[in-house]
């Protein structure tokens, strides 16, 4: 079986140069293109295959593979708790000897994260909440390490997603079954992919089910409790309140519900509410009234990421794995069937 020394001898370079080239750092370490080409040809001629498992084990300071979770440091940081719990629980369940690290990044600036383009920093990356610009970067970049996309999809990457389209349709169907003919919507302002997709999927479902969507009652708000409260005030001030309200996030729903309570708008008697649930389930369960949510299966999705990671580390997951998880509707006081 050929060794790295054999490759170095055939290419006429040092062992360290071979290591730099096969680890994808030729450009970064300023290795001449001609030299890199010689190494590549020698690798091919000898049929040399790097010991991937050993290389992964050597990459971490403590001798353990490192799984990095990339997450934007903005309002979506509030969703991290459920994901981290899901990751850690699955690592323990599978008795994996790995380290988990969180790498925060600025929205639209994922391209600045060197860990995604270097083979020696992390063994696996899980990228969450990527913006459209960040997705363009990923689509156009040759991945140096195995990468799993959390609630995003690109065919050549491993992906774990929530079936938001089916869930949005179910939320609209509940309103339809309750006899609602119109609906108001509170959604997050900005360009978050998942938010835009969920809201649009819900609006499309309403139209399909014959529920009127008045665009003046589609309120965009800052993703915060205060943002939800301000959106509720706008709906009240419009004087055209619908009898059904869909919130794209439980953060917005909690803020909105506070204002409706203060204004003596009875939930669910005067207004029925359904929200997507991104926070822990008890965040909306112990409200007065409790809020019906379509709970995104963040913990289950995180667990699936670890399952894929285990396959990557054991060289079992050679082709991209694409997994879709189903959200769960938690019926509460704000809207019951």
pLDDT in tens, 41-82: 888 888 887 665 445 444 444 468 999 999 998 888 889 999
Asked whether 186 and 241 are in contact (CB, 8 A), the reply is no
Average pLDDT, the chain: 90
Domains 4-50 and 58-161+299-325 share a fold: no
Residue 167 has pLDDT above 80, yes or no: yes
Asked whether 127 and 152 are in contact (CB, 8 A), the reply is yes
If residue 128 lies in a helix (H) or strand (E), which one and from where to where? strand 124-128
The fold for domain 4-50 equals 434 Repressor (Amino-terminal Domain) (1.10.260)
Reading the block at residue 116, the tokens are: 């995604």
274 or 30, which is more confident?
274
DSSP one-letter code for 287: S
Which residue has 């091919």 as its token pair?
A: 44
Asked whether 64 and 280 are in contact (CB, 8 A), the reply is no
The fold for domain 58-161+299-325 equals Rossmann fold (3.40.50)
Instruction: Compute CA 102 distance to the chain's CA centroid, rounded to the nearest angstrom.
Output: 13
CATH number assigned to the domain with residue range 164-297, chosen from the 4 options 3.40.50.720, 2.60.40.1250, 3.40.50.970, 3.40.50.2300: 3.40.50.2300
pLDDT in tens, 294-306: 999 999 999 999 9
Q: In the chain, where are the structural domains located?
A: 4-50, 58-161+299-325, 164-297
Give φ, ψ of 183 to 5 degrees.
-145, 145
Q: Give the pLDDT mean for 114-140.
A: 92
Give φ, ψ of 279 to 5 degrees.
-85, 180
Query: In this structure, are strands 244-247 and 182-188 parallel, antiparallel, or unpaired?
Result: parallel
| d(C-alpha 263, C-alpha 194), whole Å | 31
| d(C-alpha 158, C-alpha 150), whole Å | 9
pLDDT in tens, 206-262: 999 999 999 999 999 999 999 999 999 999 999 998 999 999 999 999 999 999 999
């Amino acid at each position: 079986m050929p060794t790295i020394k054999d490759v170095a001898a055939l290419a006429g370079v040092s062992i360290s140069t071979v290591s730099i080239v096969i680890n994808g750092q030729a450009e970064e370490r300023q290795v001449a293109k001609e030299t890199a080409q010689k190494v590549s040809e020698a690798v091919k001629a000898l049929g040399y295959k790097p010991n991937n498992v050993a290389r992964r084990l050597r990459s971490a300071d403590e001798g353990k593979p490192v799984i990095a979770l990339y997450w934007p440091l903005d309002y979506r940081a509030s969703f991290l708790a459920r994901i981290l719990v899901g990751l850690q629980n699955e690592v323990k369940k599978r008795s994996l000897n790995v380290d988990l690290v969180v790498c925060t990044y600025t929205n639209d600036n994922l391209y600045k994260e060197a860990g995604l383009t270097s083979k020696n920093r992390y063994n696996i990356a899980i990228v969450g909440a990527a913006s459209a610009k960040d997705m363009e970067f990923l689509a156009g970049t040759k991945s140096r390490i195995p990468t799993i996309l959390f609630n995003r999809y690109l065919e050549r990457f491993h992906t774990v997603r929530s079936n938001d389209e089916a869930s949005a349709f179910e939320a609209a169907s509940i309103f339809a079954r309750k006899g609602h003919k119109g609906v108001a919507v509170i959604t997050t302002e900005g360009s978050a992919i998942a938010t835009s997709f969920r809201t649009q999927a819900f609006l499309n479902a309403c139209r399909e089910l014959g529920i009127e969507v008045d665009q003046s009652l589609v309120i965009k708000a800052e993703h915060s409790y205060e943002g939800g409260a301000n959106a509720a005030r706008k709906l009240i001030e419009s004087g055209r309140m619908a009898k059904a309200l869909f919130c794209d996030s439980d953060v917005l729903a909690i803020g909105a519900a506070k204002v409706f309570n203060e204004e003596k708008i009875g939930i669910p008697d005067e207004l029925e509410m359904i929200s997507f649930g991104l926070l822990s389930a008890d965040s909306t369960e112990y409200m007065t009234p409790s809020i019906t949510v379509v709970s995104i299966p963040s913990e289950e999705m995180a667990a699936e990421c670890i399952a894929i990671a285990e396959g990557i580390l054991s060289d079992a997951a050679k082709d991209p794995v694409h997994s879709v998880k189903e959200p769960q509707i938690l019926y509460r006081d704000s809207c019951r069937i």
